[in-house]
Amino acid sequence: MTALLETDDLEVHYKKSGLLGGEREVVRAVDGVSIRIRQGECLGLVGESGCGKSTLGRALLRAAPITGGSVRFGGTDITRLSGRSLRTVRSRMQMVFQDPYGSLDPKMPVEEIVGEPIRTHQRVGRAVRRTRVGELLETVGIDPARMGDRPHQFSGGQRQRIAIARALAVRPEFILCDEVTSALDVSIRAQILNLLKELRQEHGLTFLMISHDLGSLRHLSDDIGVMYLGRIVELGPARAVFDAPAHPYTQSLLSAMPLPDPDKERARNRIVLKDDVPSPLAIPSGCRFHTRCFLRDRLGTPDRCAAQEPALRPLPDGRTVACHFAEEAAAAPSRPASQPAPETDRCP
Amino acid sequence: MNEGPLASVRNLSIAFRGRGGWLTAVDGIDLAIGRGKVVGLVGESGSGKSVTMLALARLTTGPTARITADALEFDGRDVLAMGRRALRRLRGGDIGFVFQNPHHSLNPLLTVGRQLSEAMVAHMGLSQRAARGRAAELLARVGIPSPARRLDDYPHQFSGGMLQRAMIAMAIACEPRLILADEPTTALDVTIQAQILELLASIVAETGASILLVTHDLGVAARMCDDVHVMYAGEIVEQAPVDTLFYRARMPYTWGLLDSIIPFDAATPDMLPFIPGRPPALAEIPAHCRFHPRCGHAREICTAGAPALGPRAGAGHLARCYGTEPDGWLERSR
């Protein structure tokens, strides 16, 4: 199938002026990312805060300044569109954010919140708009009789449904979901994910899902991209990436996720990464991950990791990985030998 | 040496004054924290878990809150009878605190070193100089590189993970017997969360302190806790040793919580199981079994009376559900 959305070596660099307008530093938020999302599919993006995943999402919608590379949407290069043609493209792409408290205007009744994109992008009368808002609320599981209510009269989960209804209002082809379930309680999270899955199946929508919740991502995504300091380090089918991660960073990320199963937790070979993510102002030389990489330590700190940036290269199973030693990583995805076994004997 | 639990509370209730009168947020809770144990308090937002934790140090006070309890003890001492000074010695001395958001819990205008030494000067009678030296040791203990230099940094110069480490250093500064930790890793990335959880576990192993861990994340509870209490709408609905809770739960809400976790290490069904509805607001807490409106197993009896938190098979296992009482109608094994 053809790609609905495609980037080629996309870059978003911000110039940060130094103190007193002195030296300028460059924040390389997105630093050469090439992804493809096919029509009707969902790409999941995962990575720690500051890795550039939200900036990448915004750049796709032309809501972050692109400083290099290109974005194609539906076969058209939209990197430098402006004015009316940009508005037309934007009406085909929508986004839903993490915080339904922050992204809905507290003073507006739901009818206006959901109807606003229709007013912006389509010329229809008030009555038509109202009917359409009612249908949209029905679709997301909100009683249309409540369209006169304001956001604070709804619960967090309901507000997220309203935000989704608003995103659907102009019948977009593509929806960016940035941490949409992160602020929700666990019992509500599954309800919202089910709604997104239904919408995807019924309307053939294409998604980019950004989340740090790996379970949500696996449930909805066809492919998973793992980001570290502005770059994709692993990209492939969700099952392959989660069941047999090939990049040492993906391995660390998965092994850090707590499992709701005490036996599995005790039996686990956990990789605990040292330190924090380096600043995007001072990206390490060579492989960006080499300063925290347990695999490099185990291989006797080869110079190549610090000297040469690994390109994203295909493995035999179809995924791509940016690691010089991906074969070694895939062969032994376990705890580094130097690390002591985790405390396991704490139960009575 | 006292052999009872380190901290315990009996029949704890907490109410807040709202527009229409007092609203009960926590209703008749018994809780005991064993020595050297990590006890989890899990539940969704609004279940009352955080205020329960604060009440153990009598921190939920003021004109809009009302705490009542039949007994509140710390190491055999009656906390309810304590005066202001004794309470101050308890908080920050015997009890250390770690909160969710270190950015909000530290004073942005004071250096990290100053905030760390403050408590040691107040509680341990150390001189400024000695406190500063120990502050550096503490930062080293929690894994902050070049600690002596970082003492003079302000909180904004630390990353989120580093700041949470500094907060843990503060919590353990006066060698507490109990650490109250409210969602200590919720604001952090998973890789940093793993570091912080490992640090907390090593502190328990090393100092024999107990932790009361408030979390909404059952994965964190599975990794850290010896015993887990599940709260719903202001009540404890189930409590058990960690394995029992995860493998032999006897309360439909706990089942619902366990089922709502979306595994990343296995395939998921097309539509995820979920608990219908949502947790009730304080003013709308249902009578009888508080979970019955959302429970798929409820029968007539569930709307006729309020089930007691009663024993189930297995040591230390209590559940609040008519359906899993000895003559009940519910069976489930995971």
Q: At what angle do helices B128-141 and B160-172 cross, to 10 degrees?
A: 130
Confidence of residue A346 (pLDDT cuts 50, 70, 90): very low
CA dihedral (B263, B265, B271, B274) in degrees, to 10, reads -10
CB contact under 8 A, B271 and A273: no
The H-assigned helical ranges of chain B are 49-55, 84-90, 102-105, 112-124, 128-141, 147-150, 160-172, 190-207, 218-224, 242-247, 252-260
Each residue of B230-288: pLDDT tens digit? 999 999 999 999 999 999 999 999 999 999 888 888 888 888 998 988 888 888 899 89
Q: What is the pTM of this model?
A: 0.89
Contact criterion met (CB < 8 Å) for B159 and A265: no
CB contact under 8 A, A190 and B218: no
What are the pLDDT digits (tens) for A103-128? Answer: 889 899 999 999 999 998 888 899 99
- What are the angstrom distances between the C-alpha of A227 and each of A55, A288, A321, A326, B57? 12, 11, 11, 16, 42
Q: Is ipTM strictly over 0.95?
A: no
Q: What pLDDT shows up at residue A338?
A: 36
Which chain A residue shows the shortest CA-CA distance from B271? A194
Residue type, A8: D
Nearest to B195 among A190, A254, A272 (CB): A272
DSSP letter assigned to residue B182: E
| Residue numbers in A near B205 (CB within 8 A) | 343, 346
pLDDT at residue number B279? 87
Sheet with B235-241: strands ordered across: B95-98, B178-182, B210-215, B38-42, B227-232, B235-241, B318-319, B310-311
pLDDT in tens, B297-318: 999 999 999 999 999 999 999 9
The confidence band for B104, taking pLDDT boundaries of 50, 70 and 90, is confident
Query: A58 - beta bridge partners?
Result: none
The whole-angstrom separation of Cα A164 and Cα A167 is: 5
Cross-chain Cβ contact A262/B192 below 8 Å: no
pLDDT in tens, A158-209: 999 999 999 999 999 999 999 998 888 888 889 999 999 999 999 999 999 9
Look up residue B214 and give its two tokens: 């408030």
Q: What is the pLDDT of residue A345?
A: 33
Residue A181: its pLDDT value, please?
A: 87
Average pLDDT over residues A296-306: 94
Q: Which amino acid is it at B14?
A: I
Q: Is A287 helix (H, G, I), strand (E, B) or coil?
A: coil
Exposed/middle/buried for B202, CB within 10 Å: 0-12, 13-18, 19+?
Answer: middle
Domains of chain B: 7-225 (3.40.50.300), 232-324 (no CATH)
- Given this model, what pLDDT does residue A343 score? 37
Residue of A nearest to B158 (CA): A276
Task: Please indicate whether, in this complex, the C-beta atoms of A214 and B264 are within 8 angstroms of each other.
Answer: yes
A253 vs B38: CB contact, 8 Å cut-off? no
Q: Which of B198, B246, B271 sits opposite A194 (nearest CB)?
A: B271
On the CB side of B285, CA atoms within 13 Å amount to 18
Helices within A248-342 (DSSP H only) = 248-256, 262-267, 294-298, 303-307, 326-331
B20 pLDDT more than 50: yes
| Residue B82: band (very low, low, confident or very high) from pLDDT cuts 50, 70, 90 | very high
Is the pLDDT reported for residue B92 higher than 80? yes
| CB spacing of B216 vs A214 below 8 angstroms | no
Mean pLDDT rounded to a whole number for chain B: 92
Chain-centre distance for alpha carbon A174: 14
B99 has a pLDDT exceeding 60: yes
SS (H, E, C) B255-312: HHHHHHCCCCCCCCCCCCCCCCCCCCCHHHCCCCCCCHHHCCCCCHHHHCCCCCCEEC
Closest to B268 (Cβ–Cβ): which among A218, A272, A276?
Answer: A218
pLDDT higher than 90, residue A281: no
Contact A189 B263 (CB under 8 A): no
What is the total residue count of chain A? 348
Kindly tell me if the per-residue pLDDT of A308 is higher than 90.
yes
Mutation test of the interface with chain B: which of A143, A159, A179, A187, choosing the one with the most B Cβ atoms within 10 A?
A187
Q: Write out the two tokens for A24.
A: 């300028």
Alpha carbon of A195: minimum distance to chain B alpha carbons (Å): 9
Residue A236 above 90 pLDDT? Answer: yes
CB < 8 Å to B267, chain A: 239
Q: What is the pLDDT of residue A347?
A: 32
What is the least distance, in Å, from the CA of B55 to any CA of chain A? 23
Closest CA of chain A from B284, distance in Å: 14
Higher pLDDT, A337 or A96: A96
Tokens of A198: 């239904």
Q: With contacts defined as CB-CB under 8 Å, which chain A residues touch B199?
A: none
Q: Which of A11-25, A102-116, B208-222 has the lowest mean pLDDT?
A: A11-25
Chain A residues close to B195, C-beta within 8 Å: 272-273
pLDDT value at B332 more than 80: no
Please, which pLDDT band fits residue A332 given cuts at 50, 70 and 90?
A: low
Domains of chain A and CATH, by start: 3-16+25-228 (3.40.50.300), 242-331 (no CATH)
Shortest distance, CA B97 to any CA of chain A (angstroms): 22
Q: How confident is the model over A27-71, as pLDDT tens digits?
A: 999 999 999 999 999 999 999 988 999 999 999 999 999 999 999
